[in-house]
Amino acid sequence: MPFRDRYTGLINRYRDHLPVSDDTRIISLGEGNTPLIRLKNIPKLLGKDVEIYVKYEGLNPTGSFKDRGMTMAVTKAVEEGSNAIICASTGNTSAAAAAYAARAGITAFVLIPEGKIAMGKLAQAMMYGAVTIQIRGNFDEGMELVKQVALQAPVTIVNSVNPYRLQGQKTAAFEIVEELGRAPDYHCLPVGNAGNITAHWIGYCEYSAQKGTKVTESCAFCDGNCRYAGGPIIGGNRPAMIGYQAAGSAPFVRGEAVKNPETVATAIRIGNPQSWDRAWKVKEESGGWFDELADEEILAAQKLLAQREGIFCEPASAASIGGAMRDIKTGRIPEGSTIVCTLTGNGLKDPDTAIKQCGDSRMVTIDANISSVKDAILGNM
Ligand code: F0G
């Protein structure tokens, strides 16, 4: 492949739409450009005439969508002269922060809830060389501490309260529109802090505006005075955004913060979302909704996706497909729709949860001889 065609990450790909200049030193690991996979078997199982695609963000360099935001956040932190970044995390942000800090040659401090992050994510933070600070508390407490310490120490916050994070993450919407030739009718995401659903909406709005169609009377991000505001909504250009939460950590469904969030989907074990107001605006403007799934429903969706489609995502990610399946079944998402579900993180992040829920798997242990192997095969045909 000639050099000019080599993919070198989303900042280079979308630099006209991102806050970088020709002089900016880009910190990239080749993130973005993830596959949009059309599901074949699950729609048949549902018996509904729908097109379902999954955007497999687990194939980013550190295995989650966080890399899209982190390439921007770390690029800008370095450009602004920062030598250290900090975040609170349920695991994926810390993995991405650690990797991009290593790439940039700066220090990453990560605060994680002790005992509540998946093993793969912990391994990543440690391996990439982040200063890993476990707190006896949850993500929400960690987030408050990070905000306080950033006022007192020379560290740049790289949680999604950092606006550059959302700028990077909006590119997922660009990729989807480019690949489908239009926006989907529905876009389903798991919601924790609600940064990603907000970022996608920014991306869809910008893309739609760029195509020469005015977007909305009041843009969610500027109180109505940016160049995207002021026009009618043109059908088909932007999806309804649907945010799914775990039932034990569902502040958007409750309408208020949740004090002690709990869920097997540790990535979205968040009770006090940082993008609270923005996410409500996204829901209103896009005509979408929030809903919740029980842990069992999340795990069942994770397994179904793996066993029927060959796609392994982490539990939190499966909330998107589990929720979409339910809404397709009930007709809330009507037949004839095109639906994109974001699979935010790779299944390999959380091997413990995967193995635990496959106790009924077809694994057998046998002696190393040919007759035992034959028996194992014939017994499982
Ligand atoms: N899915 C996964 C796999 C995540 O790691 C996260 C967030 C989300 C969904 C929710 O995204 O917060 O933008 O609504 N993980 C953060 C972290 C909190 O620290 O890794 P959101």
pLDDT at 76 over 70: yes
Q: Is the Cβ–Cβ distance between 361 and 330 less than 8 Å? A: no
73-76 long-range CB contacts below 8 Å, 24 or more apart? 73/100, 73/156, 73/158, 73/162, 73/164, 73/165, 73/168, 74/27, 74/100, 74/101, 74/103, 74/104, 74/106, 74/158, 75/11, 75/20, 75/24, 75/25, 75/26, 75/27, 75/28, 75/164, 76/19, 76/164
64 lines ligand 1 (CB under 6 A): yes
pLDDT at 381 over 70: yes
138 lines ligand 1 (CB under 6 A): no
Q: Which of 60-69, 155-164, 226-235 has the lowest mean pLDDT?
A: 226-235
pLDDT at 188 over 80: yes
* φ and ψ of 167, to 5 deg: -60, -45
Probe ligand 1: pick from 191, 268, 353, max atoms within 8 Å of CB?
Answer: 268
Cα(196) to centroid(ligand 1), Å: 8
Query: How far is it between the farthest Cα atoms of the chain?
Result: 75
User: What tokens appear for 7 in the block?
Assistant: 């993919």
- In angstroms, the CA 215 to CA 100 distance is 34
pLDDT per residue over 8-31, tens digit each? 999 999 999 999 999 999 999 999
For position 112, what pLDDT does the model report? 98
Atom of ligand 1 nearest to the CA of 89: 19
User: What tokens appear for 215 in the block?
Assistant: 């977007």
pLDDT per residue over 80-98, tens digit each? 999 999 999 999 999 999 9
pLDDT band at 3 (very low <50, low <70, confident <90, very high): low
Q: Which of 9-18, 109-118, 358-367 has the lowest mean pLDDT?
A: 358-367
pLDDT band at 169 (very low <50, low <70, confident <90, very high): very high
pLDDT band at 211 (very low <50, low <70, confident <90, very high): low
Cα(39) to centroid(ligand 1), Å: 23
243 lines ligand 1 (CB under 6 A): no
pLDDT at 1 over 80: no
162 lines ligand 1 (CB under 6 A): no
Probe ligand 1: pick from 317, 344, 350, max atoms within 8 Å of CB?
Answer: 344
CB neighbours of 360 closer than 8 A, spacing ≥ 6? Answer: none
- In angstroms, the CA 330 to CA 333 distance is 8
What string of DSSP letters covers 297-312?
HHHHHHHHHHHHH---
pLDDT at 236 over 50: no
